[in-house]
Chains A and B, each alone.
Chain A
Amino acid sequence: MAEDNEKQPTSSPDSDSAGGNETPSPDPAPQMDPGPKPAVPAGPEADARPVVPKPPPKKPAAPAKPKGPQQEPWSDALVDALKEKFPAQVLDSYRFLSQRQLVVKKDQITDIMAFLRRNEIEPFDFLSDETATHWPEDEEFELVFNLFSFETHGRLRVKTRIKEWESIESLVSVWPGADWLEREAYDMFGIQFANHPNLKRILLPEDWVGFPLRKDYDIRLQDVEWVRKHLGIDSGQKFYVGKAKHGDD
């Protein structure tokens, strides 16, 4: 499908590694966009473009750091209470695009969540979402919990990182609704949730091999053995579990 946008799964945040460098010339240098161009050369677009009056004031301002929303440190009574109750568990708290985020250690995650749910300062009584992101360079998964407070209508995003081989305590004891969300995270990433009542695959078949949302799982990869066994067909895929490489090179 999207063969023309091959993405390196381990692409680093600096944007010139991506396959999007062919910035088309009709691009009218938008004002709000932080800029598709990483501002490497001093005057890149000086070639007879009448719209140059706008870029010059911007360009010198952001040569090292690409301009855009930054993380702003944030703290309030809740964070203080949390830090007091769980010393050394709270690693960071900041706002990004005015969304509050909290980075914690994984060791006491259920206690922290139970505290966030039942505290009196701002009870985040609703678990909107629980999911994960794979960061293969660090060999880590980042678990992301999106909480909501019915009282203040505020949202809070709690993040915690675990190593790929580590497990994390299940949140089912705090929110029974975490059940299926964690099963999906297990299904897609292979994250082990300790003390989960029923940790098994939910969307994929039980005997499927591989965890599709990991970054090292190619998009065209599939469990060929499973397809052959259960559907009785050869899938025709050139990609196999374990040796993902371009067959049509």
Chain B
Amino acid sequence: MTTDEQTLFDSNEITLSMGPQHPSTHGVLQVKLKLDGERVLDAECVIGYLHRGVEKLGEHQTYGQFLPTLDRMDYIAAVSNCLGYCEAIERLLGIEAPPRAQYVRVLLTELNRISSHLLWLGTHALDIGAMTVFLYCFREREEVLKIFENYCGARLTTHIFRIGGLQYEIYDGFEEQVRTFVKDFPKKIDEYEQLLTENRIWIGRTRGVGVLTKEEAIDLGVTGPCLRASGLEWDIRKSNPYAAYSEFDFEIPVGEYGDTYDRYLCRIEEMRQSNRIVAQAVEKIPDGPIKAKVSKIIKPPVGDIYHSIEAPKGELGYYVVSDQTTLPYRVRVRPPSYVNLQALRQMVTGHMVADVVAVIGTLDIVLGEVDR
């Protein structure tokens, strides 16, 4: 008789399975939560629903054929995926893309960062209950995707670069379109900020939620805006410049408390900085060839390389082993979302159920990349 009472009234622990079909998990992520009332005692992520074996596929496709597959990892930031892999293989081959290609690459990658952050901001705000921001963000994201569409014919899975440079010359009116976007965009960011930054509900839902200290973030391997919001000024674009990033003037926004609100501010500021980079790049795209001389059959020398770039979500690394055949011996992708998601458990433990939604949003994960 007492046991029944105990289970009913003394112990409030229940297990809640959130996802994989849940609108705020941004894909097929399952989070198993152990709850005491509304408080989260523990959490475990179940992933792999979208596992397609990208690394295995890489071993069975030639170096060039693998590029479209990579777009399907982080499909929100396909341009970054492409850039990292192309540069890794170029380094392995000992070639370098011509300056014109480098500039266009930087430009498009930064536009992609903007579109990725816009999607994050829209869905993150929607999760927390701010509907308007979502519509605003998608309005601007559309402009970016139109530029991609005009440039290469695709909006999401772009397959935008090639090993050695670019496939396509920029189209007529490209610069004009980019300039118009760059000119208008800062005002649009102000609009989002007007809706959120001082908003009492927004602050209430994000400040102090999902705190990650600098040490914890480093221990857990968290990278990108999540790490910077915890107070570590580290951006691969600055620390180990690739492409043409060393020639641009931009700043790294850094947070202080490492909570959801700081991460929000960091990403907002990153959009402004990306906008700055695009504005600089479009004014000084050098003339010249767009592709270095690359042999039709790519057989890199025996050896391995690790090359990483600053993707919108964090450090995106490629570790490629070549055995001097046409197929890579091993392709390893170091996915930022996968490693960042690891921090979820630490970030939600002790918080409310509703905060789990906010924390998943703030981590900015893409399940295509988590599962690969």
Chain A residues in contact with chain B, CB under 8 A? 1-2, 5, 7, 11-15, 17-20, 23-24, 26-28, 30-34, 36, 66, 68-69, 71, 96-97, 99, 125-129, 131, 133-134, 144, 146, 150, 153, 155, 157, 175-181, 184, 188, 201-205, 212-213, 217, 219
Contacts and interface: CB of A to CB of B under 8 A. Distances in A.
Contacts of A157: 304, 306
| Interface of B: prevailing SS | loop
Given A15-B299, A68-B303, A97-B303, 4 more contacts: A31-B293, A36-B295, A188-B55, A219-B57
B221 interface: yes
B319 A30 contact: no
B56 interface: yes
Nearest to A126: B218
A1, A128, A133, A184 — most chain B CB neighbours (10 Å): A128
A36 B294 CA distance: 11
Contacts of A212: 53, 56
Interface in B218-270: 218-222, 232, 234, 239-240
A203 B299 contact: no
B350 to A, nearest CB: 17
Contact of A177 (B60, B65, B232, B342): B342
B239 A5 contact: no
13 contacts: A2-B65, A5-B61, A14-B324, A30-B295, A32-B93, A34-B300, A127-B221, A128-B306, A129-B334, A144-B332, A203-B48, A203-B372, A205-B48
B121 to A, nearest CB: 26
B47, B292, B342 — most chain A CB neighbours (10 Å): B342
A128 B219 contact: no
A148 to B, nearest CB: 8
Contact of B326 (A20, A131, A219): A20
A157 B317 CA distance: 13
A133 B296 contact: no
Contacts of A217: 56
A144 B315 CA distance: 17
B95 interface: yes
Interface of B: 47-48, 51, 53, 55-57, 59-62, 65, 91-95, 218-222, 232, 234, 239-240, 292-306, 308, 315, 317, 319, 321, 323-327, 329-330, 332, 334, 338-339, 341-342, 371-372
Contacts of A13: 302, 323-324
Nearest to A208: B48
A5 B327 contact: yes
A146 B48 contact: no
A20 B306 contact: no
Contact of B317 (A66, A128, A176): A128
Contacts of A32: 93-95, 292-293
B325 A20 contact: yes
A24 B240 CA distance: 37
Nearest 3 A/B pairs, CB to CB: A177-B221, A68-B301, A18-B325
Nearest to B327: A7
Contact of A213 (B55, B304, B323): B55
A201 B326 CA distance: 31
B59 A7 contact: yes
A15 B297 CA distance: 12
B55 to A, nearest CB: 6
